[in-house]
């Protein structure tokens, strides 16, 4: 046994006793100090904004001080980051001092601190996105409650549109990080044979500013909300109240986190792969995360700029989006959707990466056409930048542009189809083990097929013009994103939580969760295709009386869909705390490199950097070489599992 190497930046050894100055205590920085810093920063920013703008008559007379609101949120986020310790290192460097070395505490409180360990950050993201998804889901329940009756209303029209707007914005911003945040940060270093992320402090920053962005967007509710839907279209944007400031700044804050996460993950994959981890041996999940990281890094700056322009319109009286003063509402639409359509694939590609890892394990077959799948992901990420104006077919832009964007939208279905067929080829004649992760993975293909086929219709201009702004589009969108991404995320959690927590999820409760979620998801959203074709518009709290039956059916199914998530949360609590069952080191008999480390994963991931010998999908090839060498040739990961390797029925 060789001596354990010294910790690199952002890592800490657990073999030495933690100094008392670095143990949990009231003087250390944690979630509590972050909240205090955020509150103090908010109060200071509001005072400063009022002081700056007190001499401007247009602000005093309007009764709305957007400058104070914006500065309050800006300083609130800065105070939050100061309180959690995110700025300690750069501030110490600016002051000419040597920053103190971060030490990872071997204590539960590390999850409430600014950790530079990628595994801790991954688990922080798991809890964060689940909580955000829960709050967004509660707003969805409120929407379906209102739509139970076309004439009896629980909310006013103004309140209803603000609930719809908040639900859509929270869900979309949460969804952009739902896989890259938890699973990307936790698993990518393990899958490529690295001991850490390239920039551990940037990784931690991406999580804590993600939390700050969520709180900023949610702060729109006490400000009175915003009536624009999640897309924030001008001129509604420029006419909206103070809640619009939260929307615009929230997008900018989360955009910073997305750019940081994408850049960090891309650098890690490109530069920190273990010896032998060539591009042709990269796990398909890592390919999906790399393609997503490219989209995060290249598309998100457009969103950041769009939000900044909107803030300047609200606070400094510029006119980027104000038509009366020489601006253009089309500018916002183009900037927003130039980010917004790549965002769809920011959510879809990691989902296909997850199921691409799961299918070979539970079919005991190599991943079919692996290189075609990887090429498809790169093709999707490239073409996604050329389709954004299909969202503007009804906006009044030059109709001569429609054929071009109809063509590019239909072309993107080709690499998407390649990715889909990789899964179908892997399932062909497979001897399938129907474990919980595999059930969720197969559900993704069922749901995404419906979403993809309806998407082809929507790319056609005549159909798009007919159903635009209706429930048909809403149903397509939920089938594509929720039916794809969310089912894939659940598959990934059930598959990798034994590695992340050392505990097995309860299978019986998991079956209840899967079947209730799958059945009631389809019963909720499939009727919306019919509702949309019959003419019901989105974001309107009343509708024709003859559509009440379908709406009631969809609402009741939505309530039961929400109940399925309560089953999942109960399974988490039951499996992790009430009746924990220790997970085997490799419960699924996977050849993936992440499963070859100890359970729980040691601080350094690998005692020695592994040497990769082949890709991890040789389940049915009896003569295949070993997957990796973990220790100078004496610890080989076999390419064929002890499970039946025939792989065919």
Give the Cβ contact number of residue 550 at 10 Å: 17
Radius of gyration of the chain (CA): 25
pTM (whole model) above 0.85: yes
Tell which wins on pLDDT, 105 or 208. 208
Q: Which of 80-84, 225-229, 621-625 has the lowest mean pLDDT?
A: 621-625
Map 115-181 to HEC letters.
Answer: CCCHHHHHHHHHHHHHHHHHHHHHHHHHHHHHCCCCCCCCCCHHHHHHHHHHHHHHHHHHHCCCCHH
What integer is the mean pLDDT of 203-212? 95
Q: Over pLDDT 90: what percentage of the chain?
A: 68
What the block records as the tokens of 45 is 């920013």
Q: For residue range 273-312, what is the model confidence (pLDDT) as tens digits?
A: 999 999 999 999 999 999 999 999 999 999 999 999 999 9
Band the pLDDT of 394: cuts 50, 70, 90: confident
Q: Residue 492 — pLDDT band, cuts 50, 70, 90?
A: very high
Instruction: Report in angstroms the alpha-carbon separations of 573 from 187, 499, 565.
Output: 23, 17, 13
Residue boundaries of the structural domains of the chain: 28-101, 102-578
pLDDT in tens, 409-454: 999 999 999 999 999 999 999 999 999 999 999 999 999 999 999 9
Which tens digit of pLDDT belongs to each residue from 591-607? 999 998 888 888 888 88
Taking only the tens place, the pLDDT of each residue in 395-405 is 887 888 889 99
Write b or e for each residue in 482-495: b if 16 or more Cβ atoms lie within 10 A of its Cβ, otherwise e: bbbbbbbbbbbbbb
Residues 261 and 307: their CA atoms lie apart, in Å, by: 19
- Which residue in the block uniquely carries the two structure tokens 């059945």? 519
Q: Place 642 in a pLDDT band, splitting at 50, 70 and 90.
A: very low
Mean pLDDT value across residues 311-324? 89
Q: pLDDT at position 238, please?
A: 86
Using an 8 Å Cβ cutoff, are 558 and 471 in contact?
no
Tell me: cis bond preceding 235? Omega within 30 of 0 counts.
Answer: yes
CATH number for the region 102-578 comes to 1.20.210.10
Share of the chain above pLDDT 70, in %: 89
Please, what sign has the CA dihedral across residues 172, 299, 201, 275? Answer: positive
């Amino acid at each position: 046994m060789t001596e354990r190497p010294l910790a690199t930046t952002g890592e800490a050894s657990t073999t030495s006793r933690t100094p008392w100055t670095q143990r949990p205590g009231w003087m250390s920085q944690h979630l509590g100090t972050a909240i205090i810093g955020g509150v103090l920063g908010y109060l200071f920013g509001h005072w400063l904004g009022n002081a700056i703008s007190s001499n401007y008559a247009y602000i005093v007379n309007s009764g709305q001080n957007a400058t104070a609101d914006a500065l309050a949120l800006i300083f609130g986020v800065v105070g939050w980051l100061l309180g959690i310790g995110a700025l300690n290192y750069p501030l110490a460097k600016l002051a000419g001092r040597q920053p103190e070395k971060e030490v990872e505490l071997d204590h539960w409180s590390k999850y409430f601190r600014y950790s530079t360990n990628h595994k801790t950050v991954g688990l922080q993201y798991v809890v964060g996105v689940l909580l955000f998804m829960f709050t967004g889901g509660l707003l969805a329940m409120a929407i379906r409650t209102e739509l139970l009756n076309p004439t009896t209303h629980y909310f006013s029209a103004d309140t209803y549109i603000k609930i719809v707007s908040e639900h859509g914005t929270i869900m979309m911003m949460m969804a952009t990080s739902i896989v890259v945040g938890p699973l990307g940060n936790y698993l990518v270093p393990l899958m490529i044979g690295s001991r850490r992320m390239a920039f551990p402090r940037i990784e931690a920053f991406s999580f804590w500013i993600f939390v700050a962005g969520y709180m900023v967007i949610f702060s729109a509710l006490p400000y009175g909300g915003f009536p624009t839907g999640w897309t924030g279209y001008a001129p509604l944007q420029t006419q909206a109240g103070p809640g619009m400031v939260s929307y615009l700044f929230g997008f900018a804050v989360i955009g910073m986190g997305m750019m940081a996460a994408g850049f960090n993950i891309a650098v890690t994959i490109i530069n920190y792969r273990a010896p032998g981890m060539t591009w042709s041996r990269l796990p398909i999940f890592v390919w999906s995360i790399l393609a997503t990281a490219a989209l995060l890094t290249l598309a998100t700056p457009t969103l950041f700029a769009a939000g900044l322009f909107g803030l300047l319109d609200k606070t400094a009286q510029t006119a980027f989006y104000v038509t009366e003063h020489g601006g253009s509402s089309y500018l916002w639409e183009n900037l927003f959707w130039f980010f917004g359509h790549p965002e769809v694939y920011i959510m879809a590609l990691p989902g296909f990466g997850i199921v691409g890892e799961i299918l070979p394990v539970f079919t005991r077959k190599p991943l079919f056409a692996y290189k075609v799948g990887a090429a498809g992901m790169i093709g999707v990420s490239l073409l996604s930048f050329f389709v954004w104006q299909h969202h503007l077919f009804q906006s009044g832009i030059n109709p001569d542009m429609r054929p071009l964007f109809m063509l590019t939208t239909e072309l993107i279905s080709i690499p998407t189809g390649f990715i889909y067929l990789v899964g179908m080829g892997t399932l062909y004649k497979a001897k399938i083990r129907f474990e919980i992760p595999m059930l969720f993975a197969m559900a993704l293909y069922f749901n995404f097929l419906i979403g993809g086929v309806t998407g082809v219709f929507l790319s056609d201009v005549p159909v798009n013009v007919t159903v635009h702004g209706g429930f048909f589009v809403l149903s397509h969108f939920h089938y594509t994103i929720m039916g794809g991404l969310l089912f894939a995320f659940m598959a990934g959690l059930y598959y990798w939580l034994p590695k992340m927590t050392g505990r097995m999820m309860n299978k019986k409760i998991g079956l209840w969760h899967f079947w209730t979620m799958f059945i009631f998801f389809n019963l909720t959203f499939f009727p919306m295709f019919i509702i949309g074709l019959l003419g019901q518009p989105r974001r309107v709290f009343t509708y024709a009386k003859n559509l009440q039956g379908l709406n009631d059916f969809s609402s009741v199914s939505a309530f039961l869909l929400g109940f399925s998530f309560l089953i999942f949360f109960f399974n988490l609590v039951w499996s992790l705390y009430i009746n924990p069952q220790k997970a085997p080191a490799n419960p699924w008999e996977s050849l993936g490199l992440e499963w070859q480390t100890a359970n729980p994963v040691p601080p350094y991931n690998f005692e020695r950097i592994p040497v990769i010998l082949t890709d991890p999908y040789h389940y049915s090839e009896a003569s295949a070489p070993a997957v990796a060498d973990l220790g100078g040739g004496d610890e080989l990961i076999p390419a064929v599992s002890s499970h039946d390797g025939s792989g065919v029925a």
